[in-house]
Structure 1
Amino acid sequence: MPITLSQADYANWLDESTATATEGDMMAYPATLRKGKQRYVALREGIDLCIEDLWLNDDLEIQHCDRAHPLELTFEQVQCGGKSSQRYDFFGSGLAPAEVWRVPGQRRIVSVNVHIESFIFQQWIGDSSEDRQVLELLRPADQRYFECSGTPTAAMQMAVQAILHCPFQGLTQRLYLESKVWELMALLIEDLLTVSRECSLPALKPDDVERIHYASNLLRRQLTHPPSLIDLARAVGINDHKLKVGFRQVFGTTVFGYLHEHRMERSRQLLESGDLSVTEAAQAVGFASRGHFAAAFRRKYGVNPGVYARQRRA
């Protein structure tokens, strides 16, 4: 049976917890949620940050009614069954419809959630924004909000990790965290605008799609010493601009992002097999520095590569 919380149940727990906690403290979840903590930081009026680290034994349902909604950014790292995934959800202001959020159990969820009131965002963009997609983030309270989701880019992942491991306290902590919040907002908007621009591009010719798939095959075969963008474009017979734009249209990510994802997945497979050490696995996928590899592995899978390898051998 799933654990079911109404919106009022969740709000009451949050109100009680924040009333008794010092700002920035980690607050334990109700016992019904098993293990987990939440850290709430009011950066300033109109901007709230919440960091959660939750192990969910049972399926969870949270029932929401119609409600006015601020802008919201959510980044999640989910670990389940030895595998890890990441996603973001981006909501504008407006009307959030009645719905039931369902989260499967038997997983660890580490998340960064930010609420920004619409008046703060309006001050930020001013009155001169000509991008329709940006203005779509601000909708009236009787109109359903804008929403989108996707896989965080490498830059987004770095900003999220900076929030999770903020080294400061007090005023400097709030300044630092708010700067990272706006960095994430900028990256999300740029991603949104990039996708919009690419959607307006003419469809790729079948021959170009075939060449781009060939380029992806070359990258997967040359993880250790990948070609430069220009060399890759030459190898498949198209110019580098068409390769960059077309690669994102076909695979939904950049050439570098595609290469990085396959490097990390291959390194995970090598560590899981137990045949290579961490240093050897790093070198096998093109990392010259064990430290850089370990940091990239943690960002991707939420655990140090050495720990992951030992867990797989256990």
Structure 2
Amino acid sequence: MKTVLVPPPQPVANSNHFKINIPASLGQGGADLFSLTSGIQLLTLDCQFNQATLFQGGLKDHAVGFGFCLDGRYDYHPTGFDRPFTIRAGESAFFSFPKGVETLEKTNDKRMHRVALSLDGECLSTLINGDEDRFYPILKSLEKRSSTRMGNILTPVMRTVLYQLLHCPYRGTTQQIFLEGKSMELIAHMMEQLCSGCRCCYAGTIKTSETERVHHAAHMLVRDLNNPPDIMEIARSVGLSRTKLFRCFRQTFGLSPFEYLRNHRLQMAMHLLQDGEVNVTQAALIVGYTNLSHFAKAFKSIFGMAPSDLRKPFRIT
């Protein structure tokens, strides 16, 4: 495994736009960083390394924000956590790391596609002003300035906004306005998701062991999209009753197992269509849809567009 230091961003023509390019010896792709007028830092990362790589870095300032993982899997270990946590495709998260935190990030040789929104803690507190009870966990982490991460799922509406953000049709001033609006929209969706998560906690906190079982159940559910196992079979395998599995599943992911499976199928179909290597019929069959009409209807209800409207994605430049 190769260990490298995180390279500093380099400015481009626009003074608010910076780039980090992956050296050809390490892989391909890179990252774009936009400093928006509201103070939000927008980071988009789309790259692939030649081998497993360990990045060493550190935070000069208090880092607060929201992360979205579209593709890839990596282990992230900031100081303040006993062990690294794994971030996977299809996950979103709120994070708060204090100034001076050292970080280790282990990647593999698969494509990584992520978006992160960072902002000043005071700015986030201002957004929450007047609604403190709903967002108490966020405020608590900001006040303590402790290492905090609250993971969740990447919802279909978030994916739609991310798709629009990554396919910004404008340049110059209008690009800044567009990115600012989409970034704020993502923050709104994330804050509502966190608020919903808080309500679930009041309904009864699930144990760590139950959370691990639910994650294992989710993996079993989407392991074979063409022939998913029966929900009772999954419940028996993870040692939970059907009722308990449904309750814990909704508390963990905010979705029922059937909604989770549907969303995973459609998200996989979107990836296939964005890559441009299959047509709509092939994508539908790969993810387990035999009725193209049902597939098109479900796809549009989630992403707001027909599957035939997708084109191969491009990164912000």
The answer (yes or no) to whether the contact 1:25–1:39 under 8 Å persists in 2 is yes
Q: Which moved more, 1:94-103 or 1:52-61?
A: 94-103
* Corresponding residue for residue 149 of structure 1: 151
* Corresponding residue for residue 36 of structure 2: 43
* Corresponding residue for residue 2 of structure 1: 2
* Corresponding residue for residue 226 of structure 1: none
Amino acid at match of 1:33: L
Distance 1:288 1:279 in 2: 13
Query: 1:254 and 1:113, CA in 2 relative to 1: closer, same or farther beyond 3 A?
Result: same
TM-aligned CA deviation for residue 126 of structure 1? 2.6
Alignment of 1:48-127 (within 5 A): 48-65=41-58, 67-79=60-72, 85-92=89-96, 94-95=98-99, 97-104=101-108, 106-126=109-129
* 1:172 equivalent in alignment to 2:174: yes
Q: What do you get for the CA RMSD once the two structures are aligned?
A: 4.5
* Corresponding residue for residue 229 of structure 1: none
The answer (yes or no) to whether the contact 1:93–1:138 under 8 Å persists in 2 is no
| Structure 1: 5+ residue stretches without partners | 205-212, 224-237, 308-314
The answer (yes or no) to whether the contact 1:71–1:137 under 8 Å persists in 2 is no
* Corresponding residue for residue 315 of structure 2: none
Alignment of 1:287-306 (within 5 A): 288=293
The answer (yes or no) to whether the contact 1:278–1:290 under 8 Å persists in 2 is no
TM-aligned CA deviation for residue 37 of structure 1? 2.6
| Structure 2: 5+ residue stretches without partners | 74-87, 207-216, 229-242, 313-317
* 1:28 equivalent in alignment to 2:21: yes
Quick check: which one's helix share is greater? Answer: 1
Aligned residue-pair number:
256
Distance 2:155 2:284 in 1: 26
Larger radius of gyration between Structure 1 and Structure 2? 1
TM-aligned CA deviation for residue 44 of structure 1? 1.2
TM-score (norm 1): 0.63
Amino acid at match of 1:102: K
Alignment of 1:146-295 (within 5 A): 146-202=148-204, 248-249=250-251, 252-255=253-256, 257-261=259-263, 263-264=265-266, 277-278=281-282, 281=285, 284=289, 288=293
The answer (yes or no) to whether the contact 1:95–1:144 under 8 Å persists in 2 is no
Amino acid at match of 1:189: M
Amino acid at match of 1:61: L
Amino acid at match of 1:167: P
2:203 is paired with a residue whose SS is: coil
* 1:130 equivalent in alignment to 2:136: no
TM-score (norm 2): 0.63
| Structure 1 residues 170-197: Cα deviation after superposition (integer angstroms, max 9, x where no partner) | 2322222222212222222222222221
TM-aligned CA deviation for residue 38 of structure 1? 2.0
2:126 is paired with a residue whose SS is: helix
TM-aligned CA deviation for residue 128 of structure 1? 5.5
* Corresponding residue for residue 233 of structure 1: none
Query: 1:71 and 1:292, CA in 2 relative to 1: closer, same or farther beyond 3 A?
Result: farther
Distance 1:21 1:176 in 2: 15
Distance 2:268 2:167 in 1: 27
